[in-house]
Amino acid sequence: MTLLVIRKEALVGPQQNSFGAFLKDRRLAAGVTQRSLAVKLDVTRQHMSDLEAGKRLPSSELAEGIASELHLSSVDRDLMRDAIARDKEAVPTDLGGYIMDTDLARVALRRARDTKLSAQGWEKVIEVIESEAGDGGH
């Protein structure tokens, strides 16, 4: 249940953030300059500036490097992937394969879309998943 609360709190506000805004916020919170992060990631400072300005998006490898260098939590890593996916208008990279490989996940997502499942409905779905995980089911 605690994981559910953390995720709900984490999704308030940052959902509307672009990847660039997310990156700048987390970089500043870590006390890191664009230049020093660029050096650690083997990209130019201009590349970092372009990422933060929304002029470009990172490759999967660069995104994971950013997450590692900024010591992002698992929740922040998910939020980062979501921000990148929103900017690309695509499915987050960590979910695409799972969705394509799991027939029932696609069925559930389409039914949720077609019935316009509410936030409360999604909270119930998450609670069921968490209880299954707690019982050893996956």
Using the predicted structure, report yes or no on whether residue 7 has a pLDDT greater than 60. no
Q: What percent of the chain has a predicted confidence (pLDDT) above 70?
A: 86
Identify the pLDDT of residue 109.
93
- Place 17 in a pLDDT band, splitting at 50, 70 and 90: confident
For residues 15 and 24, the answer to whether their CB atoms sit within 8 Å is no
Average pLDDT of the chain is 88
Token pair of 34 as six digits: 């664009």
Token pair of 11 as six digits: 């999704």
Least confident of 14-18, 80-84, 124-128: 14-18
For residues 94 and 81, the answer to whether their CB atoms sit within 8 Å is yes
Rounded CA gap, 110 and 130, in Å? 21
Question: Which residues are CB-contacts of 56 (< 8 A; sequence separation ≥ 6)?
Answer: 47, 50
**Secondary structure class of 40 (helix, strand, coil):** helix
R_g (Cα) of the chain, nearest Å: 17
Tell me which residue of 22, 61, 62 sits closest to 38, measured CA to CA: 62
Identify the pLDDT of residue 4.
44
In this predicted model, which residue has the larger pLDDT, 12 or 79?
Answer: 79
For residues 66 and 50, the answer to whether their CB atoms sit within 8 Å is no
Could you identify the residue written with the tokens 């470009």? 56
Token pair of 70 as six digits: 């900024």
Identify the pLDDT of residue 2.
42
- Tell me the mean pLDDT in the region 56-85: 95
Going along the chain from its start, the domains and CATH numbers come out as: 14-92 (1.10.260.40)
Give residue-wise pLDDT tens across range 87-130: 999 998 899 999 999 999 999 999 999 999 999 999 999 999 99
Identify the pLDDT of residue 13.
46
Q: pTM to 2 decimals?
A: 0.73
